[in-house]
Amino acid sequence: TQTVSQSDAHVTVFEGDSVELRCNYSYGGSIYLSWYIQHHGRGLQFLLKYYSGNPVVQGVNGFEAEFSKSDSSFHLRKASVHWSDSAVYFCAARRGSALGRLHFGAGTQLIVIP
Amino acid sequence: EAAVTQSPRNKVAVTGGKVTLSCNQTNNHNNMYWYRQDTGHGLRLIHYSYGAGSTEKGDIPDGYKASRPSQENFSLILELATPSQTSVYFCASGDLLGGGEQYFGPGTRLTVL
């Protein structure tokens, strides 16, 4: 069974704090991993992705994520959050052979207190 | 300018009625997808398509049909709507060999009474 798990349903931080949103996967073989952001009432927007190479990937708006094969993780981080970062964040994965099909985690709602 | 659009944005239907949700993309992507989003379930794949004329079953296809008449358009059809299909539906497009990058529409909120 292929799964993507996001252990935290909600994360609350103050503006200017750093934050890490966790994602773990259970897949074998080659894997693509990505993060999406969903603001309230909107569709999902792509943030960043990883397939190979440097395990730390940079995305938009200061977000980065780090892939760890040993931990089966792809955690998202930001050094200093802004109130506008409040949204739901989804981790997604697909097998290298799956021709575009993504499996999403349940999402983590990030609340940033101004 | 929005590259993936959906219509309608909101829909109220009666049980047993037919509902068609439409999606249009201007990204020239081969792949298109229909998901539903429900609290506690994240996004679940209903149907997807690799190109005009093709449709494939996703993880939860029961009660849904799909149609891909052209590269740009992908419809989701509920022949006999049920209250359990009340949800928010998202369409997305992506490259066939993309690394997981999909582009989403704004969503359609469907309520089946």
pLDDT tens digits, one per residue of B33-90 = 999 999 877 899 999 998 999 999 999 999 999 999 999 999 999 999 999 999 999 9
Opening angle at CA B86, ends B81 and B92, nearest 5: 95
In chain A, what are the helix, strand and coil shares in percent, each to the nearest 5?
5, 50, 45
Per-residue pLDDT band at A3 (split at 50, 70, 90): confident
Looking at the predicted structure, is the pLDDT value of residue B99 above 80? no
Per-residue pLDDT band at A100 (split at 50, 70, 90): low
pLDDT, mean of residues A75-98: 91
pLDDT, mean of residues A76-98: 90
Position B109, amino acid: R
CA of A42 to nearest chain B CA: how many angstroms apart? 5
Substitution target in A104, A108, A109 with the highest count of B β-carbons within 10 Å is A104
What does the CA dihedral B14, B111, B82, B103 come to, rounded to 10 degrees? Answer: 130
Q: What domain range includes position A78?
A: 3-113
Looking at the predicted structure, is the pLDDT value of residue A32 above 80? yes
CB pairs under 8 A between A and B: 65
Per-residue pLDDT band at B22 (split at 50, 70, 90): very high
CATH superfamily of B4-112: Immunoglobulins (2.60.40.10)
Number of domains in chain A: 1
CATH number at residue A50: 2.60.40.10
Average pLDDT, chain A: 91
Which pLDDT does position A30 carry in this prediction? 80
Looking at the predicted structure, is the pLDDT value of residue B100 above 70? no
Q: Of residues B100 and A70, which shows the higher confidence score?
A: A70
Q: Do A33 and B100 touch (CB under 8 A)?
A: yes
Which pLDDT does position B82 carry in this prediction? 98
Euclidean distance between CA atoms B107 and A4, whole angstroms:
23
Question: Do the Cβ atoms of A42 and B106 come closer than 8 Å?
Answer: yes
Task: Please write the tens of the pLDDT for every residue from A36-45.
Answer: 999 998 999 9
Spell out the domain ranges in chain B. Answer: 4-112
For residue A14, the surrounding DSSP H or E stretch is strand A10-14
Q: Of residues B67 and A94, which shows the higher confidence score?
A: B67
Lowest mean pLDDT among B6-10, B25-29, B75-79, B98-102: B98-102
DSSP state of A60: G
CA of A105 to nearest chain B CA: how many angstroms apart? 6
Which pLDDT does position A63 carry in this prediction? 96
Which pLDDT does position B11 carry in this prediction? 97
Q: Do A94 and B58 touch (CB under 8 A)?
A: no
Which pLDDT does position B103 carry in this prediction? 93
Which pLDDT does position B41 carry in this prediction? 77
Opening angle at CA A92, ends A89 and A95, nearest 5: 170
Q: Do B104 and A45 touch (CB under 8 A)?
A: yes
